[in-house]
């Protein structure tokens, strides 16, 4: 199966574009922990490097590492690096991450095409055991439930449970989870729980011998659901030492409308609107309450979705690049 970068131009996925812009706003808020341009960004840039483009241009981050598992096509990835400051590391993230120096504050986004599995959890665990206070971790995974063709519902449940157990490791599946929890609409919740548990477990081990003030805490900030094609989950947040709690308070993350610190979900639904409609809506924004915003002939739900992310709504246009 070809890599997803050969199927979809990452730059053109509207929810993904909005997500990146939101994360940019989130990262800006980290200033109390350190000047944002001094952070290091680690991601999976693929050949489009959309996240690297944005975070360098908007935040000035210049210590950037893109991990690329498709070693065979190294030259192509290398050619497409948008800036000189992007360092390409060829190899699976499971191999590359343990070889990095983790003494620097880092923004790490494991933006995976695939589903949650042991390899993703290994990266999460690695980050939790090494990251310094003020670092941020984000994980994106596909949360479309597995499906066995033509199976009866109970077979489907059993199949899903078995597939998931094999993917993440039996011991990582919470005791109360059954196949029914892995159906559409529910599966993402279990994925969130498994990632969350992994974070807490690793922090617990790391914290054991540390004095109270030096213990690491995890503050979830991001819980996105979106679907440009496949249903995706992005989960993540800030890692900080307890003594840095006042810095966290100064970040005032809760002022950002898309921040979620628990099970509540921030949906990124980018409605399909014309440029004229967008301009019309923008002329009424910002406005509270949002239901005062109107657009003739467009469903209210689309208007609502637009209002909730208008600052991050992508604007695509065709230009001739010479």
Partner 1 sequence: MARRLRNGNGFDGLWVRIEVKTTHFRIADNCGGIPVEIARDYAFRFGRPKGAPSIPASIGQFGVGMKRTFFKLGQRFRVESATSDSRFAVEIDVDDWKARQSTEGAEDWHFEFKTLEERISVPPDQQGTIITIDGLHPGVSDSFGQDPFVTRVSQEIAVAHALSMAQGLSITLNEIPLRYDPLRLLSSDLLRPAHLDILYDKLGPKPIKVRLFAGVSDRSKEEGGWYIFCNGRMVLRADQSNLTVWSEGERVPKYHPDFARFRGLAYFDSDDASLLPWTTTKTGVDSDSPVYRAVRQQMIEMTRPVLEFLRKMEDERKKHEDGDIPDNPLARAVAAAGPVGIETIAPRAIFAAPQPPPPPPGPRMQGIQYKKPADEVERAKKLLGVTSFKEVGEKTFDYYMTYEGGSDAE
Q: Is 74 among the residues that bind partner 1 (CB under 8 A)?
A: yes
Q: How far is the CB of 46 from partner 1 (least distance, A)?
A: 18
Q: Is 217 among the residues that bind partner 1 (CB under 8 A)?
A: no
Number of H helices, E strands in the chain: 10, 8
Binding segment for partner 1 (CB under 8 A), chosen from 29-37, 200-208, 241-249, 288-296, is: 200-208
Nearer to partner 1, 74 or 286 (CB): 74
Window 3-42: contact mask with partner 1 (x via CB under 8 A): ----------------------------------------
Residue whose entry in the numeric block shows the structure tokens 């360092």:
87
How would you list the strands of the sheet with 63-68, edge to edge?
86-90, 63-68, 40-43, 106-115, 135-142, 231-241, 216-227, 266-268
Among 211, 262, 283, 320, binds partner 1 (CB under 8 A): 211
Separation CA 144–CA 164 (nearest Å): 12
Q: Is 318 among the residues that bind partner 1 (CB under 8 A)?
A: no
Q: How far is the CB of 112 from partner 1 (least distance, A)?
A: 13
Q: Is 172 among the residues that bind partner 1 (CB under 8 A)?
A: yes
Q: Which of 202, 213, 222, 209 is nearest to 240 (CA)?
A: 213
Separation CA 218–CA 143 (nearest Å): 23
| Contacts (CB under 8 A) with partner 1, residues 77-96 | 90, 94-95
Determine if the peptide bond prior to 137 is cis (ω within 30°). no
> Using an 8 Å Cβ cutoff, are 16 and 226 in contact?
yes
Among 69, 81, 130, 189, binds partner 1 (CB under 8 A): 130
Q: Which of 93, 107, 17 is nearest to 54 (CA)?
A: 17
Window 224-243: contact mask with partner 1 (x via CB under 8 A): --------------------
Q: Is 215 among the residues that bind partner 1 (CB under 8 A)?
A: no
Q: Is 202 among the residues that bind partner 1 (CB under 8 A)?
A: yes
Q: Is 206 among the residues that bind partner 1 (CB under 8 A)?
A: yes
Q: How far is the CB of 110 from partner 1 (least distance, A)?
A: 13
Q: Is 210 among the residues that bind partner 1 (CB under 8 A)?
A: yes
Nearer to partner 1, 29 or 172 (CB): 172
Nearer to partner 1, 6 or 214 (CB): 214
* DSSP codes joined into one string, 294-322: --TTS-HHHHHHHHHHGGG----------
> Using an 8 Å Cβ cutoff, are 199 and 218 in contact?
yes
Question: Strand 40-43 relative to strand 63-68: parallel, antiparallel, unpaired?
Answer: parallel
Q: How far is the CB of 130 from partner 1 (least distance, A)?
A: 6
Q: Is 291 among the residues that bind partner 1 (CB under 8 A)?
A: no
Among 7, 57, 87, 98, binds partner 1 (CB under 8 A): 98
Burial class (CB in 10 A: 0-12, 13-18, 19+), 24: middle
Q: How far is the CB of 72 from partner 1 (least distance, A)?
A: 5
Using N-to-C axis directions, what is the helix angle for 118-130 and 187-207, rounded to 10°?
30
With H, G, I as helix, E, B as strand and everything else as coil, classify residue 233.
Answer: strand
Separation CA 250–CA 86 (nearest Å): 30
Q: Is 137 among the residues that bind partner 1 (CB under 8 A)?
A: no
Binding segment for partner 1 (CB under 8 A), chosen from 56-64, 125-133, 241-249, 257-265, is: 125-133
CA–CA distance from 268 to each of 18, 206, 227, 238, 294 (Å)? 8, 34, 8, 21, 20
Binding segment for partner 1 (CB under 8 A), chosen from 99-107, 132-140, 265-273, 281-289, is: 99-107
Q: Which residues are near partner 1 by CB under 8 A?
A: 71-72, 74-75, 90, 94-95, 98-102, 117-119, 121-122, 125-126, 129-130, 169, 172, 202, 205-211, 214
């Amino acid at each position: 199966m070809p890599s997803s970068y050969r199927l979809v131009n990452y730059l053109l996925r509207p929810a993904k574009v909005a997500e990146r812009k939101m994360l940019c706003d989130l990262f800006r808020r980290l200033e109390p922990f350190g000047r944002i341009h001094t952070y290091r960004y680690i991601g999976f840039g693929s050949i489009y490097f959309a996240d690297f483009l944005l975070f360098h241009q908007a935040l000035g981050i210049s210590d950037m590492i893109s991990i690329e598992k498709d070693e065979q096509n190294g030259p192509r990835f290398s050619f497409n690096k948008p800036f000189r400051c992007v360092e390409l590391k060829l190899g699976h993230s499971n191999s590359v991450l343990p070889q990095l120096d983790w003494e620097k504050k880092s923004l790490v986004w494991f933006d995976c095409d695939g589903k949650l599995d042991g390899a993703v959890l290994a990266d999460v665990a690695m980050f939790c055991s090494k990251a310094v206070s003020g670092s941020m971790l984000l994980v994106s995974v596909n949360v479309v439930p597995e499906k066995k063709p033509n199976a009866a519902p109970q077979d489907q449940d059993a199949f899903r449970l078995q597939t998931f157990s094999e993917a993440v490791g039996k011991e990582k599946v919470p005791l109360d989870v059954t196949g029914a929890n892995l159906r559409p609409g529910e599966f993402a919740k279990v994925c969130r729980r498994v990632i969350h548990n992994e974070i807490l477990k690793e922090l617990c081990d790391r914290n054991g011998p540390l004095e109270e003030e030096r213990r690491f805490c995890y503050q979830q900030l991001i819980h996105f659901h979106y679907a440009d094609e496949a249903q995706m989950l992005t989960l993540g947040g800030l890692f900080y030492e307890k003594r840095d709690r006042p810095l966290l308070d100064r970040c005032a993350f809760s002022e950002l409308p898309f921040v979620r610190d628990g099970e509540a979900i921030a949906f990124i639904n980018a409605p399909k609107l014309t440029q004229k409609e967008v301009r019309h809506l923008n002329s009424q924004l910002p406005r509270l309450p949002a239901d005062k915003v109107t657009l003739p002939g467009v469903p209210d739900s689309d208007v609502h979705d637009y209002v909730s992310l208008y600052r991050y709504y992508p604007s695509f246009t065709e230009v001739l690049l010479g």
